[in-house]
Structure 1
Amino acid sequence: MRNLIIGIAFAFIAFVPRVQADDASDRLVIAREIVLQSTSEDMYRTALETTMPLIRNSFQVSIPGATDAQLDEAMDLMMEIMMSTYDDMIEESAGLYASRFTLAELEELQAFNSTPLGQKVLQELPGITSEASVIGERLGTEAVNANLGRVQAIFQ
């Protein structure tokens, strides 16, 4: 009897990590599909393109005398470099989803994304995110400008 209990205990111990590993693997697979549903290479490129003017301006300020041709070339290179991170971004984003949602929740999210409303959310999300970014930038600028005196007072 004792040997039977020990055998069952060892079988249970051996089984639990495999189930957890399988669950984590399944979560990652579904999470990757969810990320791919919501982020295409074109959408990634568009998001990066919105940051390029800020990077260009930063280069222009930090590299006095840079010509427009040099800045254009640098921006093309920066876009190439940033686009090379697309696959890594997908994998790491999938890891974020997999670490925050259970397998059941991921399956439910994946099912939702397949509905007409889910498809609309996926279609509208980039525009909403872009507009929200502009709103955030505007509100942040207004808040900083309204309180610039308070910030400057720290340095006097």
Structure 2
Amino acid sequence: MTGLVQRVRALLAILLATAAVSAAVPTMAQELAPEHLALARQYVDLTDRANVYEVTLVETGIQTMRQIVTQNPEIIDQTDAAIKKILEEYRDRKGELLDQFARIYAVRFTMEELQQIVDFYSSPVGQKLATTNIEVNQDLQNVIAVFENNLNREFFAKVRAELRAQGVEL
């Protein structure tokens, strides 16, 4: 579960960074038709299988708990109650984040393109893709980790051999 949370947090950071960078781009300031935004939001809703918002809230709560309780273990019960109360305040704000995601898609895709994307993700194979993306991404990360590990060792060995061929010993 920790790996999933880290991936979700990384994805959220990338998406938020993209949103921040995009906010500086003049096209973000453009007015978009409500139906264009609604179509983009439909895509976001269809593909939010990782529950980015909820996972981020839970991780933030856990991080806050660790930070406070590490320094003040005697107030664990009060901290837990306070975190639950604050989490409740954020519970119904998911739409705000997803609306920002939708705006990013609406700026980059035409309504026709978004309709094709929504149609795909509404289909059985699109739903399967959206549902399995988390596991597929984990598998891809595992493959790239093995590749990087092997590449690092192999690359270093080849550079070392090349240096040795030039008379340099490491």
TM-score by length of 2: 0.52
Cα distance in 1 for residues equivalent to 2:47 and 2:111: 18
Match of 2:130 among 119, 122, 138: 122
* Partner AA of 1:68 in structure 2: I
Deviation at residue 51 of structure 1 after TM alignment: 3.7
Structure 1 segments of 4+ aligned residues over 2 angstroms from their partners: 23-26, 42-52, 58-61, 63-66, 124-129
Aligned counterpart, 2:162 = none
Cα distance in 2 for residues equivalent to 1:52 and 1:117: 35
Q: Does 1:33 align with 2:42?
A: yes
> Rg: which structure is higher?
1
Once the two structures are superposed, the pairs formed by residues 1-156 of structure 1 within 5 Å of their partners are 24-39=33-48, 44-61=53-70, 64-125=72-133
What secondary structure is seen at the aligned counterpart in 1 of 2:33? helix
Aligned counterpart, 2:23 = none
Cα distance in 2 for residues equivalent to 1:126 and 1:103: 27
* Partner AA of 1:86 in structure 2: K
* Partner AA of 1:37 in structure 2: L
* Partner AA of 2:57 in structure 1: L
Cα distance in 1 for residues equivalent to 2:62 and 2:136: 20
* Partner AA of 2:121 in structure 1: N
What secondary structure is seen at the aligned counterpart in 2 of 1:28? helix
Aligned counterpart, 1:9 = none
CA RMSD, 1 decimal = 3.3
Cα distance in 2 for residues equivalent to 1:90 and 1:77: 23
1:38-63: CA deviation from partner (whole Å, max 9, x where unpaired): 237x77434532443222112324x5
* Partner AA of 2:41 in structure 1: R
- Please say if residues 112 and 118 of structure 1, whose CA atoms lie closer than 8 Å, have aligned partners that are also in contact: yes
Aligned counterpart, 2:10 = none
- Count of matched residue positions in the alignment of Structure 1 and Structure 2: 112
| TM-aligned CA distance change 1:86 to 1:126, over 3 Å | farther
Gaps of 5+ in 2: 1-29, 143-170
| TM-aligned CA distance change 1:89 to 1:126, over 3 Å | farther
Gaps of 5+ in 1: 1-19, 136-156
